[in-house]
Amino acid sequence: MIKQTSVFVRLGEQSYEIEIGIGNLASIGSPIQKLNPSKLFLIYDENVVMHFQVVQELLCEIISEVHSHKVASGEASKCIGVANELWDFLSRHQADRNSMVVAIGGGVVGDLAGFVAATYARGVPFFQIPTTLLSHVDSSVGGKTGVNLPSAKNMVGAFWQPAGVLIDTQTLSTLEDREYVSGLAEVIKYGLIMDEPFFEKLEANVAGLKHRDADLLVDVIAHCCRLKANVVEEDEKETLGRRAILNYGHTFAHAFESVLGYGTYLHGEAVAVGMLCAGSLAKKMGRVNQAFCDRQEELVRKVGLPVKVDRTDIQPLIDVMKRDKKNVSNRIRFILPTGIGSVELVDAPIKKELIESVFNEFFE
Ligand code: GLY
């Protein structure tokens, strides 16, 4: 029997279902038909033409008007210029609120297409077919959409929940190894921030994770989506401090990405080192012990993620951290661990020298 499961994200009228399976892309017609759009606008990453063609063929059988637009791969596409092209694409084909935008690709296309759907005609429905591990476990849940500014990642955006999500783990079989492993950083993050038994399961299944064991992946992805959905259901718009825990490691990671150049390190790679930095900062502040840091680093290393980044000037990194959206009153706010499976939002002042010493520890 084909393994298939689903996660329901409970957000009142914005509730939606995430379907997760092996080879379930073939049944994409069913959730789309239930949502009953009048026209479809497929926005896809140039790297997933094969999946796009499958989706297009199936959807053309059930919806009379299907338009498509390709987006260049990479973080550089997540910008206002490409969003503008997509608004124009929708406008040329007279999209309206009965239309539906369908994103096929990783986090870049999901965030970009979601933002375009959120803003065009003050909002048109949006369906996601994420094709990378990172987007399976992160951007498919919770409705964060947006584009980057040259000076700050994800700075212009909107919360816009998808009408539905379909995850086919077979899309991972064509993913480059570096890209796949990068997604494992977000998987590990869920164990670290809120679920010690899940972290233990990951420790016990490193080989299966590395070999992309299909059954294991359906379970792991569904579990991550459920954990993230629990957080988002409590704090959809990140106003209560709860949702901010999902940014564990991200304050450091965004600084690495921004200063070292988006794309030098993949997002998950930057998050991996960012989590180690957050762990080290927590240890220096007496919040966790060395054993915590060692255990975290061991799993990160074993799955093949980096544990250091290239040396660079520290001040520009701190400048980026100061612009983080989590900050209040110019103070850098960190998500810091208190143990495996538990983190806290910390906004007490932290000495610059302490942060500098953390950076120095994680430079090659
Ligand atoms: N990626 C963090 C969040 O969705 O809140």
pLDDT, tens digit (0-9, with 9 covering 90-100), for 18-55 = 999 999 999 999 999 999 999 999 999 999 999 999 99
157 lines ligand 1 (CB under 6 A): no
Instruction: Kindly state the average pLDDT of the residues 160-173.
Output: 97
The residues carrying an active-site annotation are: 122, 144, 186, 228, 238, 243, 247, 250, 254, 267
Domains of the chain: 4-174 (3.40.50.1970), 177-361 (1.20.1090.10)
* Nearest ligand 1 atom, CA 231: 5
pLDDT, tens digit (0-9, with 9 covering 90-100), for 81-134 = 999 999 999 999 999 999 999 999 999 999 999 999 999 999 999 999 999 999
111 lines ligand 1 (CB under 6 A): no
Residue of 233, 247, 324, 326 with the most ligand 1 atoms within 8 Å of its CB, for mutation: 247
Q: Hey, what are 203's tokens?
A: 């420790």
* Nearest ligand 1 atom, CA 142: 4
* Nearest ligand 1 atom, CA 244: 5
254 lines ligand 1 (CB under 6 A): no
Top-confidence residue, 75 or 159? 159
Indicate if the pLDDT at residue 1 is higher than 70: no
